[in-house]
Amino acid sequence: MNLLLRWLIATFAIMATSYLLPGVELAGFWTAVIVALILGLLNAFLKPILVILTLPINLLTLGLFTLVINAALIMLASSFVEGFAVAGFWTALLFSLIVSLFNYLLSKLTPDKD
Average pLDDT, the chain: 93
Query: Is 70 exceeded by the pLDDT of residue 100?
Result: yes
Q: What is residue 107's predicted lDDT score, i.e. its pLDDT? A: 82
**Quick one: pLDDT at residue 114?**
57
| pLDDT mean over 34-40 | 96
Taking Cα atoms as reference points, which of 70, 71, 68 lies closest to residue 92?
Answer: 71
Cα 13 to Cα 83: distance, rounded to the nearest angstrom: 17
What is the end-to-end Cα distance of the chain in Å, rounded? 13
DSSP-derived letter for residue 88 is: -
Q: Based on C-alpha coordinates, what's the Rg of the chain? A: 14
SS3 24: strand
